[in-house]
Structure 1
């Protein structure tokens, strides 16, 4: 240990520092909770705590550096104009390399520079400059960036506010420049919701004219002819589709964002993530993993059998967080401190009229606030209740979004009521177009309060000053430590403020609403996150036994398994058999054979009886091989896979055929939100699917489904069937939210996968002519029209593709059915800016 580190160690263990830090936290709590700055530091305490922070900032370890930063952030509100504070803050933040925070903490920091600090600033501004812009890496960001430059694969993890996307963007630019633009690159994201956000960001960032940013697994002819390079933004299923097409350009790098999704034990899509990345790894594509808050970042390298040396776990955060708990049942509150001793507030949590609204308004005034509510119903209800107490906002941008919602969705959509008051809600069932506009208003501080579900945990970049957490669960499962800090870590925005506030609120005695405070609050109090143990590596909870049982169609080892567990076991079992067929040597395969004595013999027998080609199994890894083989044997050239004519009747007939072939009665009728709880549900999906494939606009689809329920007379709501009332706004909103969810999660994911599998099997056995049209493509793109499909492939959303095809097709040039040119400038000039104001704005963003 060096002399300096010994001084830092003594400082960290000094009870006097704990005493001073606790006093600063109490002072901050009074300012935040009561708007009273009534706790004063003595002159000696003021001097001493700043000296402590200065010593700690010189540490090489995250603990000391984080504490130094925390002290600066706690003192800012009271002392930001104090010359001595400015002097120390300038020195401390320069030592940390946190220039974004320095610009907030100290105005004109050059005026308080010493020679030592001025020199250090200049050195860091030169060496730690981000390539191709004027920003400066923080110290840990720079260390990570340099390590990645010397690697062939890498895994890193850091706090939510660390700037993972920022690092990946900088590294991508480095690759393009240093390697002279010869590589194709993939960014892998967990959900479709993130595709547009990442695509828009990269289009603004990448200035090399030889690169195009695409999000569909098809390279359009318009680009192929120009010998371009590509950055693809894919979900795992799109990556699988891309890799399955032999004629596609070779991928050289894959950046896996939100990598913890690969090993999520309660996410039924995690096996697909694993499968997609392993397919890429087999093609010698370089893998780079980024994850939030995972202490053992090397675990992703182990999973894909890469050297575990090329990894980094960053524990230093560029933003501080202050943690509070307010309990309206026990009528008290507390602050969780850095020293581990809670500060109790007996007069917090008192019941008063509209107490939750009072809390949000008092603590959230003049800043951005996220309110986490878990369920969609709670999110909407809380947003509506809170917005009723607020005055109306007069803002042209809000009015413009409200007009768009009325036109594009429905005049009775509840988001309109909230937006009028400067409030919004955010969840996966919002139309993508509306969600993006809402996020933009929040980002620009036009909206102050955003009520949300766990979609915020999917990587959507929406930080805020305050995060209120009304529920300590995702769905029915309590927060894991990774989940909590992924959400709570969004409190505080780098370059906007020095710190953020996490406020956990217990409002009522209800399950998953902090109902067991002593146990539930441990995840808040204890900032240490446990090492993750991927089930593929450890095989805990009879994992590999259950894979064998899935392949043998035997009962699982537990009777009370969840639908998600079943889907994960079945999917990994399919992947095991795919690895047998492809002779892939993977950790999954080797562990399966180690844990199951007759596993090898069983797989060899299955392989001998199998008719399904490997490429189909790889494309459709979530569908049981037994069902696929049954279809292969039954497929006859007397019947096309899918009919030429599309009507609600043919849609129903096809869905009923799929229901039987793929045993939906067993596979898709269980769990919290099954696709077909009863077979009669197919009638609803036939209406929805027909409208979707016939290029029907969203607002008309909503009207069609409302008319469907008018005829049916009843609707499913919160675990019961109720009489449908078309004049009831709650019923209308329920239909809209369910419809959007069903388009994204059922039509474009589940049903599309079944259609694709059926089409591929019939095509392979009998030929494409016999198979007929590929309905999987129609369901994916929401159209049967090739022009609209081609336009979506170049990056236009469905609604803009339909507009251009219907009214401005003269600006498109086709050869042999393929789009080869689009006259963007003429198109933009010709669009009626009064009739299509929103569409014109969106097109300008895309073509800019």
Structure 2
């Protein structure tokens, strides 16, 4: 093997090889951009494949990737060539890329006889790499990760997005269930609520064969499912995991899988402290931890963060999908190929048009394309502009989704206009049932174009042949190398094609739109990703000084820190206090104590006056302990703020009380989308709460909001107040998007968390004498009706639960909580077989 390593190293640096690689990439680029194509000679074809053959024998990931790159480039133009076919099959077998091999053999009809030793190698790998109870075979890298997971009680791995991290984790869960005879409870941690349903549906489908396992997404287990014979696979956000762990009689979780693990240590994501806190809570309960992250070279960092052996980790750098990188500059009219040889090749493009829509259509060529636009407003506007250039389509499945949107949002919602042309936009706050249907339309190729925000970075699995990246930022922050390559991992679909195209497109001369290509493109050119250096471990940027400042209420070391930075420092400071209260020798607490002479004294002073229960502190780490402590001590004087009935008046009174208790004008008034902007905003939230908690359908809440703006006579759009026009489609859509975003971000998340904390404090302080309605639960589930809440705990979405109660209540029985409320089969027999509700219920796995 040493001979082949030396030979492959020579090949990687061989001038002739690099010349051939550039030529093949250039020909591929010319085909892609539809300009006159150069040709390679038969000698160049053979030589290229010989280089690929040598490189495929190496253990060097760069050599393997370049070997595969040559095969993928040649497959576009030489897929029927005998020389290509003779080399391609052995190379793919040697690389262990069986999905690519199957694609060539099945989709392109390749049937080539191979040398006996290649056949034996294929048989051996297919035998050992076969996935139990599946027709699929692991790639070499997937198999290496899978075997490593099996050998370790804790593990962390990283690899390209296209490697199929979720696929490997699901295969490992199958192994765990078989090995334990179905006696372990398992949880998967996802970044946001927007991802819960996609993961839940996939897990339910994947593990339906194990009848003892119930897949749940809420931290409350229905009594009918709390049988000793039942086991669970939970899909949780960090908040839901913390809530589940705080209930003492819940079944123990044995394994926790954390996808997108890099979010735990993000320096700009305000949810990173919550991630850290949730996982540490699980670790303290002896849950086995498994981390999966994209691309980072030091996946051991997560194990170190939670004080596990750093040796139980693996970084995979070889990719099962090849990617072609381009920079398309419509401002300066130029096209650049960013070669894997680390050179830049200017393409002789004819700019008959510098219109973005023209180029998206031209380069997509009937293949699926994702267009990343960064902001929600850009995403919607650019999708509309693109759709306007296309002819109308009439596709049954698309029309059904259009009808759904018209009925449950509004007939004039912009998504309707887009879908009529085979285009969609996608962002996290879209209502769940609509977002899921859009994803299905794109996956099943009913629509070919999807304009999106950074939701795809959070784990939504929607690969496509092409990804156009119109902005080099998330929000106002430029891409980190992890962000960029995680997003680009969606370009190219394993088992569907051998390669994908990344087109960084400068369509406008605006900030963060590739406006400084000489520096902005560095993240595209350099495939090497820097090691993660979490602030918790490194203490960089005066991290621990700022935590101590947050505890003492003093000024931070940075003169003008961002609202996100301040939020992160304050939250970590709260978590450090929690660790001090319970005597945890965590990395966070120890480092804070060791960072200064006053760290220990600060923690002791701050915890000395805390009288509230430790359990509540742990459940509500994002809220200052001192505010919680005051509410706990004065509980008897404030119990009346949450009456049984939720009306506009009672909601407004409760919000005013919470704003005062938790100092919203100080704590919640900064950042891009602050909760508190003025006292008047509480009136708006009161309207939303009274509608949402009383199970008002979304389309009626939208109509109420439109009526409000018509009465008010003005609306805030693009940083100015303008007269409101109910017939103006733009005004209408701004209202709709603001409403669905505010329900998701403020009502169901931020405000709900304050109600939950208040409820816990009052009930704990007053004990049996407390009779405080659980408004937090009402906001989470969107109802005060216990029946609708129970149905949601069984996995039935809110809108479907409302429909069933309204139309089939007589077929249900909520009298005995130890029994399931209805029989799915009987209710389906009563439903309209053509209705959307019938389809949804029939597809749900309800376990009874």
Interval containing the TM-score (normalised by the shorter chain)? over 0.9
- Partner of 2:406 in structure 1? 406
> What corresponds to 1:114 in structure 2?
115
Whether the aligned pair in 2 keeps the contact of 1:641 and 1:771 (CA below 8 Å) is: no
1:811 deviates by: 3.4
**8 A Cα contact 2:639 2:772, kept in partner:** no
Q: Larger deviation: 572-581 or 802-811?
A: 802-811
Whether contact under 8 Å (1:86, 1:112) holds in the other structure is no
1:806, distance to aligned residue in structure 2 (A) = 1.8
- In 2: Cα distance, 1:429 partner to 1:242 partner: 24
| Alignment CA distance shift 1:783-1:548 (3 Å) | same
- 1:721 Cα offset (Å): 2.1
With over 3 angstroms needed to count, the CA separation of the structure-2 counterparts of 1:218 and 1:618, relative to structure 1, is same
Query: Aligned residue for 2:550?
Result: 550
Aligned to 2:100: 101
| Corresponding residue SS for 1:847 | coil
1:216 aligns with 2:215: no
Q: Counterparts of 1:379 and 1:438 in 2: how far apart (Å)? A: 15
* 1:840 match: 838
Between the aligned partners of 2:470 and 2:260, the Cα distance in structure 1 is: 24
The C-alpha deviation readout for 1:557-612, integer Å capped at 9, x for no partner, is: 22311111111011000000000011111100110001121121222222221122
CA drift of 1:346 comes to 4.7
Give the alignment of 1:19-418 within 5 angstroms: 19-34=19-34, 36=36, 38-106=37-105, 107-206=108-207, 207-225=209-227, 227-347=229-349, 350=351, 352=353, 355-418=355-418
Q: Deviations over 1:413-465 (max 9, x none)?
A: 00000001110001112111111000000001111110001011010000100
Pair 634,351 (structure 1): closer, same or farther in 2 beyond 3 Å: farther
Q: Which residue pairs with 1:798 in the alignment? A: 798
Shift of 1:816: 4.9
Q: Which residue of 2 aligns with 1:533?
A: 533
Secondary structure of residue in 1 paired with 2:844: helix
Runs of 4+ in structure 1 deviating by more than 4 angstroms, as ranges, are 107-110, 816-819
Within 5 Å, which residues of 2 pair with 1:774-793? 774-793=774-793
Quote how far apart the aligned CAs of 1:641 are: 4.7
Q: Which runs of 5+ in 2 are unaligned?
A: none
What is the distance in 2 between the residues matched to 1:127 and 1:35?
Answer: 45
Higher mean C-alpha deviation, range 176-185 or range 809-818: 809-818
Q: Secondary structure at the match of 2:739?
A: helix
Please list, as runs of the form range in 1=range in 2, the aligned pairs for 1:639-788 lying within 5 A after superposition: 639-767=639-767, 769-788=769-788
Q: Report how far residue 769 of structure 1 moved.
A: 4.1
Per-residue Cα deviation, 1:780-836 (whole angstroms, up to 9, x for no partner):
1100010000000011110011111222123333345565342111111111224xx
Query: Per-residue deviation at 1:105?
Result: 2.6
- 1:5 aligns with 5
- Deviation sequence 1:750-778 (CA, Å, 0-9, x none): 00110011111111111254342010110
Structure 1 residue 742, shift from structure 2 partner: 1.1
In 2, the alpha carbon distance for the partners of 1:78 and 1:219 equals 56
CA gap 1:768/1:323 in 2 versus in 1, 3 angstroms: farther
State the distance in 2 between where 1:840 and 1:469 align.
39
Conservation of the 8 A alpha-carbon contact between 2:327 and 2:503: yes
Conserved in 2, the CA contact under 8 Å of 1:328 and 1:351?
no
- 8 Å contact kept, 1:17–1:49: yes
Unaligned runs of 5+ in 1: none
Whole-Å Cα distance in 1 between the matches of residues 272 and 660 of structure 2? 27
Q: Deviations over 1:298-325 (max 9, x none)?
A: 0000100000011001101000000000
Give the alignment's TM-score, normalised by structure 1: 0.98
Q: Distance in 1 between matches of 2:641 and 2:223?
A: 28
CA contact (8 A) 1:409 1:698 kept: yes
The whole-number CA distance in structure 1 between the counterparts of 2:177 and 2:818 is 29
Q: CA deviation at 1:345?
A: 2.3
SS of the residue aligned with 2:612? coil
| Deviations 1:487-511, CA, capped at 9 Å, x for gaps | 1121100011100000011122111
TM-score of the pair, normalised by structure 2: 0.98
1:195-223 deviation line (CA, Å, top 9, x unaligned): 10011001111111000000000111121
Query: Per-residue deviation at 1:720?
Result: 2.1
Secondary structure of 1:640's partner?
helix
Cα distance, 1:292 vs structure 2: 0.8
How far apart in 2 are the matches of 1:351 and 1:525? 27
| Alignment partners' CA distance in 2, 1:284 and 1:847 | 30
SS at match of 1:371: strand
Query: 1:365, CA displacement in angstroms?
Result: 1.7
Structure-1 separation of matches of 2:647 and 2:248: 34
- Compare 599-608 and 668-677 and name the one that shifted more: 599-608
The answer to whether the 8 Å contact 1:642/1:771 transfers is no
> In 2, distance between residues paired with 1:180 and 1:646?
47
The 1-side partners of 2:30 and 2:652 are apart by: 63
CA contact (8 A) 1:543 1:569 kept: yes
1:815-826 equivalences in 2 (<5 Å): 815-816=815-816, 820-826=820-826
- Asked whether the 8 Å contact 2:243–2:619 carries over to 1, the reply is yes
Instruction: Say whether the 8 Å CA contact 1:331–1:346 is kept in structure 2.
Output: no
> Distance between the aligned counterparts of 1:745 and 1:282, measured in 2?
30
Shift of 1:124: 1.3
- CA contact 2:223–2:817 (8 Å) conserved in 1: no
**CA distance in structure 1 between the aligned counterparts of 2:381 and 2:90, rounded to whole angstroms:** 47
Given that 1:57 and 1:64 are in contact with CA atoms closer than 8 Å, whether structure 2 keeps it comes out as: yes
Give the Å deviation of 1:130. 1.0
CA RMSD of aligned residues (A): 1.4
Q: Distance in 2 between matches of 1:540 and 1:249?
A: 39
Corresponding residue SS for 1:494: coil
Secondary structure at 1:548 match in 2: helix
> In structure 1, what is the Cα distance between the partners aligned to 2:633 and 2:144?
58
1:475 aligns with 2:471: no
Q: Secondary structure at the match of 1:749?
A: helix
What is the CA distance between 1:149 and its match in structure 2? 0.5
Question: Aligned partners of 1:351 and 1:558: how far apart in 2?
Answer: 50
Match of 1:578 in 2: 578
CA displacement at 1:410 relative to structure 2: 0.6
Find the aligned partners of 2:729 and 2:742 in 1 and give their Cα distance: 20
Cα separation, 2, equivalents of 1:378 and 1:83: 48
**1:503 aligned counterpart, secondary structure:** strand
* TM-fit CA distance, 1:657: 0.6
The Cα of 1:634 is off from its aligned counterpart by 2.7
Alpha-carbon shift at residue 35 of structure 1 (Å): 5.2
SS at match of 1:813: coil
